[in-house]
């Protein structure tokens, strides 16, 4: 993706099911648990680079000494490396139960206090709770007000704080707390039944019970694996496979709405917890964010590339001799392989060759420290470099695949200006994702309607057609629905008034830099093809506006109202 989009966090839970001496004898490693937790986090570092945290718990702590240890880092440069370095020096991460987290700063907060795991402290170990999650909640105001109504004094409206305190509140009220093992099924069901949003949460209490739970729509990802030696969970399946050398079939998906509990004695239980709902797992996760070394994701991305071939051949008049195919690194690479396979089959039928290569090269270490805006913009363009001499000036069409186009700022300010230097006759930017029309409230940091290039293009078209009344009516309807708590997406009225072909052409006009010689064309994936390529991942609200929870409809209407009223506050 050419745009920088904040997305999901990563979780990791590890429970050792043998005593410490077992791992020392078998693996010769006294820090077996910590080293495995470090590997789980390292293999998910793509998911969170703004903060990191690890907690470890001793199942049988000695009175007078802490039962658990926790370390966090919000270092500007590589917080995970900073965290792991400090943990290895202190040598205090030698428990049997570990909780880890990598954070993307969705709200732009980089304070240490925003890093997971969160702690609810108590002198009673059963009441002490540590929690980490990959979540975004849409009804934090309601949760905050509920605390006030119950004569509590919440100190924050942050979703991490509220969800921790909510679960801890029902943990402390549990009637089984003093008798033995808490009733985790009842605690989690009562605490989370009114939560609106997307989440995969894991945690443990101070006495050594651990738990996992995933939202009823399975929006956020989560996987677990266990054998005689360990129980582990993570946001990505390949992380578990890398850490424990297990097969794809052995790593299970956390069931939607169910709670997985690992008791202190090592027993594993799975409960029905939250009311069953339609599965709406996030498809953008598959298109872009997860690592493609998951076998299913790899196949899905290749399929997405293949489905683009007919539209590309139509746009290039099947002129293989004068077309060069490339992609924007790095997340579009696997999709490009699928596209290339489809192109080669077509070219073989015509006894032609496919010209392809890596045109755009991203300098991941590029940094600018220049305060002057004009100079910074000039340097920013050179985050991407190009391979010269592959595109024939004046005669070639250059096709460049990106996995998605969200805001379009990097495309307009960096990618296209540098591609313009190749002097291609025509440049086609193609997206493996459909047109991103609607903001998100479940993880991706897209809370502002006006930031989306598709929304900007829709407004531009309505103004050109002198149909601003469509926008005004949608705004009035959105205000009414917010007041009446109606779950309808009024932003749809704007897109319904224009067709996708016109919208696609207008996006190309808005993306085109001021100085640009080539003809520019933008081709998007269709939602029908998306669903065929990713059949189990129907969470497509970015493209269709069909949100899985009431909070999504409130958010999209609020985003429209904020845009119309020039209000720059977040929509959720």
Which structural domain, as residue segments, surrounds residue 36? 10-279
What would the pLDDT profile of 205-241 be if each residue is shown by its tens digit?
A: 999 999 999 999 999 999 999 999 999 999 999 999 9
Same domain, yes or no: 115 and 52: yes
Q: What CATH number has the domain bearing residue 15?
A: 3.60.20.10
Q: Is 530 helix (H, G, I), strand (E, B) or coil?
A: helix
Same domain, yes or no: 314 and 229: no
In the predicted structure, residue 250 carries a pLDDT above the cut 60: yes
**What pLDDT was estimated at residue 364?**
54
Q: Are residues 133 and 198 in contact, defined by beta-carbon separation less than 8 angstroms?
A: no
Residue 424 tokens, joined = 């291609």
CA distance 567 to 382: 33
Instruction: Please report, in angstroms and rounded to a whole number, the separation of the first and last CA atoms in the chain.
Output: 25
Side by side, which strands form the sheet with 118-120? 118-120, 129-137, 197-205, 210-214, 258-262, 268-272
Would residue 568 count as lying in a domain? Answer: no
CA distance 443 to 480: 26
Whether a cis peptide bond, with omega within 30° of 0, leads into 5 is no
Q: What CATH number has the domain bearing residue 398?
A: 3.40.50.2020
In the predicted structure, residue 446 carries a pLDDT above the cut 80: no
Same domain, yes or no: 203 and 347: no
Same domain, yes or no: 178 and 319: no
What would the pLDDT profile of 78-103 be if each residue is shown by its tens digit?
A: 999 999 999 888 777 889 999 999 98
Which of the pair, 175 or 168, is modelled with greater confidence? Answer: 168
Residue 370 tokens, joined = 């220049």
In the predicted structure, residue 300 carries a pLDDT above the cut 60: yes
pLDDT band at 443 (very low <50, low <70, confident <90, very high): confident
What would the pLDDT profile of 157-166 be if each residue is shown by its tens digit?
A: 888 899 999 9
In the predicted structure, residue 177 carries a pLDDT above the cut 90: no
Same domain, yes or no: 265 and 311: no
Would residue 410 count as lying in a domain? Answer: yes
Same domain, yes or no: 248 and 130: yes
Distance of CA 73 to the CA centre of its chain: 21
Same domain, yes or no: 188 and 323: no
Same domain, yes or no: 148 and 174: yes
Q: How many domains does the chain have?
A: 2
What would the pLDDT profile of 351-368 be if each residue is shown by its tens digit?
A: 999 999 999 887 655 444
Residue 399 is inside which H or E element, if any?
strand 397-402
3-state secondary structure 268-335: EEEEECCCCCCCCCECHHHHHHCCCCCHHHHHHHHHHHHHCHHHHHHHCCCCHHHEEEEECCCCCHHH
**What pLDDT was estimated at residue 7?**
52
What would the pLDDT profile of 378-437 be if each residue is shown by its tens digit?
A: 545 567 788 999 999 999 999 999 999 999 998 999 999 999 999 999 999 999 999 999
* 438-454 average pLDDT score: 88
**What pLDDT was estimated at residue 381?**
57
* 123-149 average pLDDT score: 91
**Domain end call among 252, 279, 306:** 279
pLDDT band at 457 (very low <50, low <70, confident <90, very high): very high
What would the pLDDT profile of 504-537 be if each residue is shown by its tens digit?
A: 999 999 999 999 999 999 999 999 999 999 999 9
Same domain, yes or no: 321 and 200: no
Would residue 4 count as lying in a domain? Answer: no
Helices and strands counted in the chain (H then E): 21, 20
What would the pLDDT profile of 544-555 be if each residue is shown by its tens digit?
A: 999 999 999 999
CA distance 397 to 426: 5
Average pLDDT, the chain: 90
Q: Are residues 206 and 67 in contact, defined by beta-carbon separation less than 8 angstroms?
A: yes
**Domain end call among 255, 279, 303:** 279
Would residue 468 count as lying in a domain? Answer: no
Same domain, yes or no: 54 and 119: yes
Q: Please give the C-alpha separations between residue 92 and each of 63, 146, 384, in angstroms, as whole numbers.
A: 16, 38, 43
Would residue 504 count as lying in a domain? Answer: yes
**What pLDDT was estimated at residue 107?**
54
3-state secondary structure 487-521: CCCCCHHHHHCCCHHHHHHHHHHHHCCCCCCCEEE
Same domain, yes or no: 52 and 142: yes
In the predicted structure, residue 375 carries a pLDDT above the cut 50: no
Helices 159-173/184-192 angle, 10° precision: 140
Same domain, yes or no: 267 and 311: no
Q: Are residues 167 and 130 in contact, defined by beta-carbon separation less than 8 angstroms?
A: no
Most confident among 105-114, 155-164, 494-503 (mean pLDDT): 494-503
Q: Is 6 helix (H, G, I), strand (E, B) or coil?
A: coil
Would residue 477 count as lying in a domain? Answer: no
In the predicted structure, residue 372 carries a pLDDT above the cut 70: no
What's the whole-model pTM score? Answer: 0.90
Q: Are residues 554 and 439 in contact, defined by beta-carbon separation less than 8 angstroms?
A: no
């Amino acid at each position: 993706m050419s745009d920088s989009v904040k997305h999901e966090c990563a979780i990791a839970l590890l429970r050792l099911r043998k005593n410490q001496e077992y791992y020392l004898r078998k693996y010769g490693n006294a820090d077996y648990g910590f080293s495995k937790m470090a590997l789980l986090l390292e293999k998910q570092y793509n998911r969170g680079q703004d903060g990191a945290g690890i907690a470890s718990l001793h199942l049988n702590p000695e009175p007078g000494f802490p039962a658990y240890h926790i370390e966090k880092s919000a270092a500007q440069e590589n917080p995970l490396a900073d965290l792991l370095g400090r943990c290895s020096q202190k040598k205090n991460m030698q428990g049997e139960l570990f909780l880890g987290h990598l954070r993307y700063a969705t709200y732009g907060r980089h304070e240490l206090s925003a890093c997971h795991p969160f702690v609810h402290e108590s002198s009673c170990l059963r009441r002490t709770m540590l929690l980490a999650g990959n979540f975004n909640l849409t009804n934090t105001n309601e949760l905050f007000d509920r605390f006030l109504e119950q004569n509590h004094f919440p100190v924050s409206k942050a979703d991490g704080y509220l969800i921790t305190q909510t679960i801890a509140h029902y943990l402390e009220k549990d009637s089984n707390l003093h008798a033995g093992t808490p009733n985790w099924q009842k605690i989690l069901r009562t605490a989370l039944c009114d939560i609106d949003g997307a989440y995969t949460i894991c945690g443990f209490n101070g006495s050594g019970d651990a738990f996992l739970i995933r939202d009823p729509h399975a929006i956020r990802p989560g996987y677990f694996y266990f054998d005689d030696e360990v129980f582990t969970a993570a946001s990505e399946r390949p992380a578990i496979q890398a850490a424990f050398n297990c097969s794809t079939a052995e790593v299970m998906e956390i069931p939607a709405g169910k709670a997985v509990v690992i008791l202190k004695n090592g027993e594993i239980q799975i409960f029905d917890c939250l009311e069953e709902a339609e599965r709406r797992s996030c498809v953008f996760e598959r298109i872009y964010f997860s690592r493609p070394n998951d076998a299913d994701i790899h196949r899905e991305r290749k399929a997405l590339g293949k489905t683009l071939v007919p539209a590309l051949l139509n746009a290039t008049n099947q002129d293989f001799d004068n077309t060069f195919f490339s992609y924007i690194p790095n997340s579009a690479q696997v999709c490009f392989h699928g596209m290339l396979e489809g192109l080669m089959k077509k070219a073989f039928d015509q006894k032609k060759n496919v010209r392809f290569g890596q045109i755009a090269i991203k300098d991941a270490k590029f940094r600018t420290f220049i305060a002057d805006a004009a100079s910074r913009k000039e340097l920013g363009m050179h985050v991407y470099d190009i391979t010269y001499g592959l595109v024939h000036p004046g005669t070639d069409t250059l096709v460049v695949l990106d996995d998605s186009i969200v805001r379009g700022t990097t495309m307009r300010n960096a990618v296209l200006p540098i591609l313009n230097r190749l002097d291609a006759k025509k440049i086609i930017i193609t997206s493996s994702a459909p047109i991103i029309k609607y903001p998100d409230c479940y993880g991706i940091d897209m809370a502002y309607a006006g930031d989306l290039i598709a929304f900007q293009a829709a407004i531009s078209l309505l103004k050109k057609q002198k149909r601003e009344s469509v926008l005004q009516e949608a705004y009035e309807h959105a205000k009414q629905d917010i007041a009446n708590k109606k779950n309808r997406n009024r932003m749809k009225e704007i897109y319904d008034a224009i067709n996708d072909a016109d919208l696609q052409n207008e996006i190309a006009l808005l993306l085109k830099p001021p100085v640009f010689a080539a003809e520019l064309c933008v081709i998007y994936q269709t939602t029908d093809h998306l669903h065929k390529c990713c059949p189990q991942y129907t969470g497509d609200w970015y493209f269709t506006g069909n949100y899985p929870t009431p909070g999504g409809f409130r958010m999209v209407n609020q985003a429209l109202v904020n845009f119309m009223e020039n209000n720059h506050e977040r929509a959720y």
